[in-house]
Structures are given as C-alpha cells and as structure tokens.
C-alpha cells in the first residue's frame, strides 16, 4: 500500500509487540492450537480465550485448558474475567507463574451470562469497582497488564475515555477498545472514530478492535481512531494467515505464503490433529467442526455436510484432502 505505516514495536514493560496486529480473545475459538497457528504466520500478540479467574485458581479443567499458554510462544497473553478482586489477583499470579507474558483484563464481553454475573462489560456501569479489579491485578504481578473494553454500556453511558484514564493511572500498559457499546453486541458497524476519544485521553497505546477483516479496514480503523495498532477477531476464522497479511500491507512486513490446494489441506489437517491432541479424540472432533466449516467457507468449498458430522478422524481427513483437491481443480 502506498500509505504503509512505519513498523514500530509497542513496548509494554519490556515486552515488545511487533507487529502491532493482535489476535482478539474469542471464547471457544482462540484456544492454544489456533493461537499457535496464527502466531506461526506472524502476529504481535495472541490472546487466550477469556478465563474465569476463580475457576482457573480452583483448577477447574475447562478454565485451565483455556489458559494453556504454549511456553514456546513468547507473544501470548491470557485474558482474565471476574468480579472479585481477590480471585482476579490470585488468577493473575497463577497464569504469570505459568509463563504468561501479558495479562489482559476483560471488561468488554457483552454475553448475558457474563454481564449478569457483574463481569465483562457490566463493569463499565461501576468504574469504581472496575478500578479495584484493575488495581488488584496490577499489584499482583510484574508482567504487563492490559485492558480490553468497549465504548460504553450503551449510548447513554459512553465512558471508555474515563475508564481508560483511570486504568492508565492504575498501571495498565495498553488498552484495546472494541468500537461498539455492550448493548450493541455485534450489531451495526464498529465506530472507529469514537475510539479516538480514548486515544486522546491516555498516553499508553490504544488498540482498535471491531470489524477489522482485511488490510483496508485496518488502515481505515487506524486512520479514524489514531490507534497504535489493531486487533483482529472474527475475520481470522478460517484464515489464520490474515494477521500476517494485514501486517504486510499496512506495515511492510513480509507477505505470508497463503496455502492453496494440497498445502491448504495439509494446514487444515494439521490444525485438526492438533485439536484432537489438545482436547482428546472425542471432544476434539466436536470442537474442530466449527473451524473446519470456516476453512471450507473461506476457501469457497461447498457441499461438505457429511464431513461436519463425521466422528471418525480418518474419514474427516480423507474428506478434507478430497475437498481441497477438487476446489483447486475448479479454481484452475
């Protein structure tokens, strides 16, 4: 692109984030196998699924699985959620002790099961309590602490700039803003220009999030928000190379080699097998289905309903090889 931005690392207490293109935490999606794949193509930071603070401390298996770090991946953050300062601090100590390089605090999740428990974006309705949680986490660990939130609870409570200022004063090193309110959920378009109010309110790096699906939308988000980088979420589903593509076009880093045909089949099968190894065969087969659907959709492969319901990994792998071979023949 003619408007390429200079590549500058974001430095968070000694942790460099280069390029400033980050993978968003997505519940049920950004598990260790997916984060490892995205990081392999090139990402400044990959963030875990949201982890319930009390559950990870009490060693509940699902929470521990979500917090799995991959010690060989330096660019890993673990996102914590909760409503009690004690558990947030204890969870921060635990994941930092396990090797997390960065700890992110979730104050943006709009899901009712989260906000009804006074966690996630519900904390935007009580900034004093939100600040107590932030202070507890910052005070518990030496690693950088970041914050992810939204523009506000609703159009009548757009208090992200105030929350960001208070978080910065408490020691938060970076703030990511999803350009919607909680009550919008994922409806409508992300308001990148509204993020500029946060960018101008704080001195720490601000990351723009929401509807960033390619280099053009990343450029537009950066221009409208004045942010120091972008965070990509749903756009990476079925396209783990997307962050590297955005970085190449926006910041001039090397273009990733996007697999096609047999090479794409190898990548998808490798991801599938990684999920089976991570979750175990029975659960892994089920968890993998959504990822397989996204890969097939992104590649324009149709008519694979049987693959999506099969329980035999060998059958799924044969179907994947056949589907991507046929897709390449059609494309040729």
Q: Where are the domains positioned within the chain?
A: 10-251, 261-331
Task: Mention the CATH class of domain 10-251.
Answer: alpha beta
Question: Per the annotation, does 178 bind a ligand?
Answer: yes
**Is 183 assigned a catalytic role?**
no
Are 74 and 101 in contact, with CB atoms under 8 Å apart?
yes
Output the pTM of the full model.
0.93
Q: What is the pLDDT along the chain (332 residues), one digit of tens a residue?
A: 456 888 778 989 888 899 999 999 998 899 999 999 999 999 999 999 898 899 888 877 766 666 676 644 567 899 999 999 999 999 999 989 888 889 999 999 898 888 878 789 999 999 999 999 999 999 999 999 999 999 999 999 999 999 999 999 999 999 999 999 999 988 999 999 999 999 999 999 999 999 999 999 999 999 999 999 999 999 999 999 999 999 999 999 999 999 999 999 999 999 999 999 999 999 999 999 999 999 999 988 876 767 888 899 999 999 999 888 876 665 54
Q: Is 234 labeled as ligand-binding?
A: yes
CB of 105 within 8 A of CB of 80? yes
- 165 known ligand binder: no
Q: One of 23, 39, 85, 109 is an active-site residue; which one?
A: 109
């Amino acid at each position: 692109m003619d408007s390429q931005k200079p590549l500058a690392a974001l430095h968070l207490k000694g942790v460099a984030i280069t390029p400033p293109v980050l993978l968003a935490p997505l519940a049920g999606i950004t598990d260790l196998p997916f984060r490892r794949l995205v990081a392999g193509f090139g990402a400044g930071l990959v963030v875990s699924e949201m982890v319930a603070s009390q559950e990870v401390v009490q060693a509940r298996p699902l929470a521990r699985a979500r917090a799995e770090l991959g010690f060989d991946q330096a660019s890993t953050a673990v996102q914590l959620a909760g409503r009690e300062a004690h558990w947030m601090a204890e969870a921060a100590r635990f994941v930092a002790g396990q090797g997390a390089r960065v700890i992110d605090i979730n104050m943006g999740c709009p899901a009712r099961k989260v906000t009804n428990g006074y966690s996630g974006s519900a904390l935007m309705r009580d900034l004093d309590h939100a600040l107590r949680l932030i202070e507890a986490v910052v005070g518990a660990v030496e690693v950088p602490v970041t914050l992810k939130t939204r523009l506000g609870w609703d159009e009548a409570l757009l208090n992200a700039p105030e929350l960001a200022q208070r978080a910065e004063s408490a020691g938060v090193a970076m703030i990511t803003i999803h350009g919607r309110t909680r009550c919008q959920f994922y409806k409508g378009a992300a308001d990148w220009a509204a993020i500029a109010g946060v960018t101008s309110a704080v001195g720490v790096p601000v990351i723009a999030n929401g509807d960033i699906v390619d280099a053009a939308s990343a450029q537009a988000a950066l221009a409208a928000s004045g942010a120091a980088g972008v965070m990509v979420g749903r756009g990476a589903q079925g396209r783990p190379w997307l962050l590297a593509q955005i970085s190449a076009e926006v910041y001039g880093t090397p273009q990733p080699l996007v697999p096609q045909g047999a090479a794409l089949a190898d990548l998808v099968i490798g991801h599938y097998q990684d999920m089976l190894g991570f979750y175990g065969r029975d659960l892994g087969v089920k968890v993998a289905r959504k990822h397989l659907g996204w890969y097939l959709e992104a590649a324009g492969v149709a008519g694979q309903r049987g693959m999506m319901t099969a329980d035999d990994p060998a059958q799924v792998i044969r179907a994947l090889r056949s589907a991507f071979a046929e897709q390449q023949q059609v494309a040729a």
